[in-house]
Homo-oligomer: A and B are copies of this chain.
Amino acid sequence: MLVNLLRPKTTVSAHCDLPCGVYDPAQARIEAESVKAIIEKYHANEDPAFRVRAIQIKEQRSNLVKEHLWVLWTDYFKPPHFEKYPQLNELFNQATKLAGAAGTKGSVDVKVADDLLAKIAEIDSIFWETKKAA
User: Would you give the shortest CB distance from A63 to chain B, in whole angstroms?
Assistant: 8
Copies of the polypeptide in the assembly: 6
A126 at the interface (CB under 8 A from B): no
Question: Judging by beta carbons under 8 Å apart, are B30 and A22 in contact?
Answer: yes
Whether the pair B21, A102 counts as a contact (CB closer than 8 A) is: no
Interface size on A, residues (CB 8 A): 64
**Chain A, range 81-99, C-beta contacts under 8 Å to B:** 82, 89-90, 93, 96-97
Instruction: List chain A positions with a Cβ less than 8 A from chain B.
Output: 1-2, 4-10, 12-22, 24, 26-27, 30, 33-34, 37-38, 41, 45-57, 59, 61, 63, 66, 70, 73-75, 82, 89-90, 93, 96-97, 100-102, 105-109
